[in-house]
Chain A
């Protein structure tokens, strides 16, 4: 079943055409890679899909609904979550609270209940606590629940950001260079983690990444952008051997 259709989107910045006629049809449950040289427009595509930018042209349809002009929070509520290329955590909140915030929409109690600490409040808060901890546990962060997010190491911050995005219970998860700043070993672990959550949460995932082992290892399908335009699309093997991609992006020999 098709989950999201991106039709013909174009994004201009002061005469610079960052994305041109971009199309994408995402099937429910897919794990797709989006790669391309620096400045090709990958992050810009993410920004359009999540309502940070409104495209100069084109439409984005998600689960049958046109979300092109929706605000980020509406888009999140309709089931899309993302991480950022430059990590954006709630730095001065604890790891646990970072996750709890992501559950804000699942909490239904009103101000009144909060003030009086009614049973409804207690019940929902303890539900949230429990679920948050479960999530932290999945990402091996429980022990650091009380750390401020900014005091985590880089890799931990990346994991927390993914966990936080997952906590909003999305159907589609957008990951922007999750392996940046990780060494080979760590990105390998991350790769396993991603394919594991892909299965476990039955998610659709769109992944931007420059670490080829990660992309080639887990993506079912890959789309390559250059200068805002799609230059190739296909399975990892097809992409690996596509001369255009080699020339623009991979370079002569593919690093193992």
Chain B
């Protein structure tokens, strides 16, 4: 019964994605809308991967755009220079960015807190500086002529998969370990947790998905340029993350949807858009300091509760204990 229910659920979700893709192809849905939806999906991947570090692990990374850049560039090199299929470039992007993030982790975790923040920022700046110098990828001119491989269904599936993967990791031993580190690093260590290693794994995962998002992003715009990946991009992600609610996957989705959507809707306001946008952000933070979702999750994100099992114990509670005493 449960299986049927979940199969039905996923079929509906997938069908929805295919439907939108089809409607888009035959221009029943405006390509503009499709593109904004794609951008939202990519932002969801970026923000939720950042959430792993900033939300669940409790560090303050401010250079996420660096990982996005490595993904975007590597995938572009694969498709443009080596004419590989996009899927390959996509995977390579994820792997490389994950690896780099892991390696960043090696030195990064000698320090912590705001010092770590500066290291991630520094990494971001170094990547941009390198790209600006690499003639092979066009340096400051960027790379043009990326195939238009990113379409709605790609983004849609990638987003859904990302969310499922993140959810499953977060509600597993790994996620609990990260949260424990966030809550009290020393106590976590006293639980036998190798904090440095766990943090590096978290970084690798976050970096990997940021790289995947970068690949999608590049192949959506068909053009990439180092200056798109500066700390300004990183701060955009931070804003979406904290707006939605750090420590909540639902929040990341909401933050990405709201920010991307809202700024798009306000686009016609011109200069004043960037005045009103921040005001809205500040107002939301003032009324909901933990972000819109705080650290709560929607029901469907939460795993099946342990309630049944627990119930068995609660009913006997106390008695057994006292007997043994």
Q: Which residues of A contact B (CB under 8 A)?
A: 50, 52, 71-73, 76-77, 81-82, 84, 88-93, 96-97, 100-102, 104-105, 107, 109, 111, 114-117, 121, 125-126, 129-130, 133-134, 136-140, 142-143, 145-146, 164-165, 168, 192-193, 196, 200
Known interface pairs A101-B176, A101-B191; A143-B186 also in contact (CB < 8 Å): no
Contact between A137 and B313, CB atoms less than 8 A apart: yes
Residue of A nearest to B319 (CB): A137
Residue from the list B179, B189, B317 in contact with A93, Cβ < 8 A: B179
Query: Which residues of A have CB within 8 Å of B310?
Result: 96, 133, 142, 145-146
Which secondary structure dominates where chain A touches chain B? helix
Q: Told that A97-B179, A101-B191, A196-B325 touch, could you supply 4 new A-B pairs with CB distance under 8 A?
A: A88-B186, A100-B176, A111-B174, A134-B313
Q: Which of B175-211 contact A (CB under 8 A)?
A: 176-177, 179-180, 183-184, 186-195, 201
Which secondary structure dominates where chain B touches chain A? helix
Contact between B183 and A92, CB atoms less than 8 A apart: yes
Give A19 to B300 CA distance when docked, in angstroms: 54
Known interface pairs A92-B295, A142-B314, A143-B317; A104-B191 also in contact (CB < 8 Å): yes
Give A130 to B321 CA distance when docked, in angstroms: 16
Known interface pairs A126-B309, A137-B317; A93-B174 also in contact (CB < 8 Å): no
Of the stretches B165-173, B228-236, B264-272, B278-286, the one at the interface is B165-173
Query: Which residues of A have CB within 8 Å of B195?
Result: 73
Query: Which residues of A have CB within 8 Å of B188?
Result: 90, 101
Counted as pairs of residues, one from A and one from B, with CB atoms less than 8 Å apart, the total is 125
Known interface pairs A76-B192, A81-B190, A168-B192; A129-B306 also in contact (CB < 8 Å): yes
Give A153 to B204 CA distance when docked, in angstroms: 38
Residue of B nearest to A47 (CB): B186
Give A89 to B180 CA distance when docked, in angstroms: 9
Closest-CB distance, B156 to chain A (whole angstroms): 19
Query: Which residues of B have CB within 8 Å of A82?
Result: 190
Known interface pairs A90-B184, A101-B180, A104-B176; A164-B317 also in contact (CB < 8 Å): no
Contact between A168 and B191, CB atoms less than 8 A apart: yes
Query: Which residues of B have CB within 8 Å of A76?
Result: 189-192
Give A117 to B140 CA distance when docked, in angstroms: 44
Residue from the list A52, A90, A121, A196 in contact with B180, Cβ < 8 A: A90
